[in-house]
Amino acid sequence: MTAKLDKTIKRELEVDGKTYTIAIGPDGVKVTEKGRRNGPEVSWRSIISGDTSLNESLNASVDVSSNS
């Protein structure tokens, strides 16, 4: 049985020695480096539609932040 996603849930993920917070909510998904406020955010509508330009922009922003 599945539960309705009516509030944001947060989980922690470690990638390449860096810790990230993943927030999954009714509006979409947001990934931020732990201790930071800003990070890439993707709406559910964009994920469902398969918006490729958004995916490319997201990958570019992640690459820039990982090189900083």
Domain coverage including residue 45:
9-58
Residue 22 counted as domain residue: yes
Q: Is residue 24 part of a domain?
A: yes
Q: What is the pLDDT along the chain (68 residues), one digit of tens a residue?
A: 899 999 999 999 999 999 999 999 999 999 999 989 899 888 888 888 877 566 667 677 776 666 65
Backbone phi, psi, residue 13, to 5°: -140, 135
Please give the helix or strand (H or E) that residue 59 lies within, else none: helix 52-67
Residue 66 lies in a domain: no
Within a domain: residue 4?
Answer: no
Number of structural domains (the chain) is: 1
Answer yes or no: is 2 within a domain: no
What are the backbone angles phi and psi of residue 20, rounded to the nearest 5°? -125, 150
**Torsion, Cα of 49, 46, 27, 67 (10° steps):** 150
Question: Which burial class, exposed, middle or buried, applies to 24 when counting CB atoms under 10 A from its CB (0-12, 13-18, 19+)?
Answer: middle
In a domain, 63, yes or no: no
- Please give the pLDDT value at position 68: 57
